[in-house]
Amino acid sequence: KQEVTQIPAALSVPEGENLVLNCSFTDSAIYNLQWFRQDPGKGLTSLLLIQSSQREQTSGRLNASLDKSSGRSTLYIAASQPGDSATYLCAVSGASGSRLTFGEGTQLTVNP
Amino acid sequence: DTAVSQTPKYLVTQMGNDKSIKCEQNLGHDTMYWYKQDSKKFLKIMFSYNNKELIINETVPNRFSPKSPDKAHLNLHINSLELGDSAVYFCASSHLRTARDTQYFGPGTRLTVL
């Protein structure tokens, strides 16, 4: 059974810092890994999707890496802004791509 | 131009009641999902439908019954509500049949059972 763990559970940083969020998963036989953002009282917004054959994906100030063999992914946020404050969720889909298993998220606060 | 919409946004009800949550997507996607997010913010899949066909049915009490009248709609009906059903329920959709591509989420329905 796939298990996804995110560290840290919460993170508070001053504006402008570069930061890294970590995600680990127990079964390396995945189809893809996705990073989502959840704002309070809102749904999830997809940030990046990395296929199992890829090593990283970039979108603006966000960069996600994937090391499938070690069961790890990181989300790098450059030059953080208060608007980046949200909960960031990592999710992996099984080898057949059948379903997403989510981590519990990292709650990020960027202070002005 | 909302992509995935859910109604209602909040639902407060008494134990034992029956309630429904509606979901609609205008993205032309073939697959829709229901997720439950509990008080610890842990998100778990409940059901998945592809073109009105049930393809994922997790270990969910049979008091929960999804209904898909067409591929743009996936409603969730809950019978005999219990305190433990209190959670936020999210609907999502994707183009492909499974979790192989990006999923788009609705805003969530916060269900409180008293």
Q: In angstroms, what separates the C-alpha of B45 from chain A's closest C-alpha?
A: 7
Partners of A36 on chain B (C-beta within 8 Å) are 105
Q: Does B57 touch chain A (CB under 8 A)?
A: no
Tens of pLDDT, residue by residue, chain A (112 residues)? 899 999 999 999 999 999 999 999 999 999 999 999 999 888 899 999 999 999 999 999 999 999 999 999 999 999 999 999 999 999 999 877 678 899 999 999 999 9
Supply the pLDDT for residue B55: 84
Question: Which residue spans within chain B are E strands per DSSP?
Answer: 4-7, 10-13, 19-25, 31-37, 43-50, 53-57, 64-70, 73-78, 87-94, 104-105, 109-113
Sign of the dihedral through C-alpha A45, B72, B61, A41: positive
Q: Contact A50/A56 with Cβ under 8 angstroms?
A: yes
Residue B108's pLDDT band (boundaries 50, 70, 90)?
Answer: very high
Structure confidence at residue A1 (pLDDT): 86
pLDDT for B100 equals 75
Tens of pLDDT, residue by residue over B9-53, are 999 999 999 999 999 999 999 999 999 998 877 899 999 988 888
Contacts of A89 in chain B (CB under 8 A): 43
| B82-106 residue pLDDT tens | 999 999 999 999 988 776 788 999 9
Query: What is the pLDDT, as a whole number, of residue A47?
Result: 96
Looking at the partner chain, which of B4, B41, B101 has a beta carbon nearest the beta carbon of A104? Answer: B41
pLDDT value at position A40? 87
Task: Find the residue in A nearest to B41 (Cα).
Answer: A104
pLDDT at B21: 97
Interface test with B, best of A6, A30, A102 (most B CBs within 10 A): A102
For position B1, what pLDDT does the model report?
Answer: 62
d(CA A7, CA A106) in angstroms, rounded, equals 7
Instruction: Inform me whether the C-beta atom of residue B83 falls under 8 Å from chain A C-beta atoms.
Output: no
How many Cα neighbours within 13 Å face the side chain of A80? 22
Place of tokens 């953002």: A37
